[in-house]
Amino acid sequence: MSYLMYLRKSRADKEAEARGEGETLARHEQLLTELAVKMGLLVGAIYKELVSGETISARPKMQQTLLEVMQGMWEGVLVMEVERLARGDTKDQGTVAEAFKFSNTKIITPMKTYDPSDEFDEEYFEFNLFMSRREYKTINRRIQRGRIAAFRDGWYIAGTAPYGYKKVKQKGDKGYTLEIVPKEAKIVEYIYELYTAGELQEDGSHAPFGSYQIRDRLNELNIPSRTGGIWSASSIIDILSNPIYIGYQRWQWRKVMKQMIHGTIIETRPKDENCEKVKGRFQAIINEDKYNLVQNIKAGKPLPNITNTTLQNPLSGLVYCSKCGTMMTRQPSNTKLRYAVLRCPNSSCNNISAPLSLIEEMAIEGLNEWIPEYELNWPEEPEKESSTTLSVLENSIHSLEDKYHQTVKQLNKTYDLLEQNVYSINTFEERHKTLENQEKELLKELEHLKKERNCTINRKQARCDFIPSVKHLVEVYWKIDDIRLRNSMLRNVLDHIDYLKTERNKKGAGNTANFTLKFYPRLPESKTGHPAVRPHHCRSRC
pLDDT per position as a tens digit, 93-128: 778 888 888 888 999 999 888 887 787 877 777 777
Residues 141 and 163 in one domain: no
pLDDT of residue 377: 59
Quick check: 273 pLDDT over 80? no
- Segment 79-104 mean pLDDT: 79
Residue 371 belongs to some domain of the structure? no
Does 305 have pLDDT greater than 60? Answer: no
Q: Taking residues 407-415, what's their average pLDDT?
A: 83
3-class secondary-structure state, position 117: coil
> Residue 206's pLDDT is what?
60
Name 355's bridge partners: 341
- Domain assignment present for residue 257? The answer is yes
Please identify, among 278, 304, 330, the residue that sits at the C-terminal boundary of a domain: 304
The reply to whether 370 falls in a domain is no
Q: Examine the fold and report which residue of 102, 119, 152 is the final residue of a domain before the chain moves on.
A: 152
CATH number for the domain spanning 15: value is: 3.40.50.1390
Q: What's the pLDDT at 188?
A: 92
Number of domains in the chain: 3
Q: Quick one: 193 and 143 in the same domain?
A: no
275 falls within a domain: yes
**pLDDT value at 322 more than 60:** yes
Domain presence at residue 328:
no
Q: Concatenated DSSP letters for 173-226?
A: SS-EEEEE-HHHHHHHHHHHHHHHT-EEPTTS-EE---HHHHHHHHHHTT---T
Same domain as 187, residue 88: no
Query: Is there a single domain that holds both residue 119 and residue 249?
Result: no
Contacts of 540 (CB under 8 A, 6+ apart): 362, 513, 514, 515, 516, 517
Burial 93-127 (b: 16+ CB within 10 A, else e): beebbebbeebebbbbbeeeebbbeeeebbeebbe
CATH for 222: 3.90.1750.20
Same domain for 277 and 172: yes
CA–CA separation, 124 vs 92, rounded Å?
Answer: 17
Does one domain contain both 134 and 45? yes
Q: Residues 171, 140: one domain?
A: no
**Interval 175-196: pLDDT, tens:** 888 899 999 999 999 899 888 8
Asked whether residue 294 is domain-assigned, the answer is yes
Categorize the per-residue pLDDT at 334 as very low, low, confident or very high, splitting at 50, 70 and 90. Answer: low
Identify whether residues 391 and 497 lie together within a single domain. yes
Structural domain harbouring 494: 377-539
Displacement of CA 253 from its chain's centroid (Å): 18
Domain closes at, from 289, 304, 319:
304
In this structure, which amino acid lies at residue 432? H
Under 8 Å CB-to-CB from 16, ≥6 apart: which residues?
24
Tell me: pLDDT of 91 over 90: no
Min mean pLDDT across 183-197, 384-398, 432-446 is at 384-398
533 and 385 both lie in a single domain:
yes
Task: Indicate if the pLDDT at residue 15 is higher than 60.
Answer: no
Q: What is the mean pLDDT of the chain?
A: 79
d(CA 433, CA 45): 11
Q: Which of 14 and 157 is assigned the larger pLDDT? A: 157
Task: Look at residue 336 in the predicted model and tell me its pLDDT.
Answer: 59
In terms of domains, do 138 and 193 share one?
no
pLDDT higher than threshold 80 for residue 367: yes
pLDDT at residue 538, as a whole number: 56
**Same domain, residue pair 73 and 116:** yes
In a domain, 334, yes or no: no
Q: Is the pTM of this model over 0.75?
A: no
Output the pLDDT for position 74: 92
pLDDT digits (tens, 9 = 90+) for 192-245: 988 887 765 555 556 668 888 888 888 888 888 888 888 888 889 889 988 999
Say whether both 119 and 165 belong to one domain: no
Is residue 292 domain-resident? Answer: yes
